[in-house]
Structure 1
Amino acid sequence: MTSSTLKRWLRPEVFPLFAAVGVAVGMCGLQLIRNISGNPEVRLTKKKRAAGVLDNYDEGKKYAEHSLRKFVRKRNPEIMPKINSFFADPK
């Protein structure tokens, strides 16, 4: 790379953009790995593909009910609960 390219892209104003794109790419990568390794409908080996359509409801339910979904299910669907209660709850 030339020094003008480095001066253009390696400025402090660009670091938040790099961080946001890095987090997004990381989340996509983790989801891809999760789907390839744990999804019951994805079969990579020839032996598993030859089995055809499987009625494995227990494995599918285990895949769908992951720990993040169980954690979020017990919470209220609010992004900022303290601010919501400040403006919504009467004194």
Structure 2
Amino acid sequence: MAAAAASSSSAAWKRWIRPEVYPLFLATGVAVSICVGQLVRNITGNPEVRVLKEKRAAGVLENFDEGRRYSQHGFRKFIDGRRPEIMPSINSFFADPPKY
């Protein structure tokens, strides 16, 4: 009985763990890590999320500075003021052709 279970798990392992599947695992791992990072950021840093019972009992806080620090994080400050384009040089090449 145990040999059949070991054999079936070995077959499943050989089916799914192949070099062709590595990019799928990589993309899934990156997506899961982004989700986990965002969840940890929200639980630990969001002023509206209170995990401890003592902090929940405080009710609604008028804490504008903490909210501003949370919403204006480093990445948002980095992209603030930039044009919302992924590839600006290609966009300008096709949108504004050179004039001869």
- TM-score of the pair, normalised by structure 1: 0.91
Distance 2:95 2:55 in 1: 54
Distance 1:18 1:4 in 2: 18
1:5 alignment partner in structure 2:
12
Deviation string 1:25-44 (CA, Å, 9 cap, x unpaired) is 00000001100100001112
Q: How does 1:21-60 map to 2 (within 5 A)?
A: 21-60=28-67
Structure 1: give runs of 5+ residues left out of the alignment: none
Distance 1:85 1:13 in 2: 37
Task: Give the drift of 1:90.
Answer: 2.3
Moved over 4 A (4+): none
Q: Equivalent pairs: percent with the same residue?
A: 65
Distance 2:13 2:87 in 1: 39
Structure having the higher Rg = 2
Q: Between Structure 1 and Structure 2, how many residues are aligned?
A: 91
2:3 alignment partner in structure 1:
none
* Pairwise CA RMSD: 1.3
**Which one has more relative contact order, counting CA pairs under 8 Å at least 6 apart?**
1
Task: Give the drift of 1:20.
Answer: 0.7
2:97 alignment partner in structure 1:
90
2:22 alignment partner in structure 1:
15
Distance 1:16 1:84 in 2: 29
Distance 2:82 2:23 in 1: 30
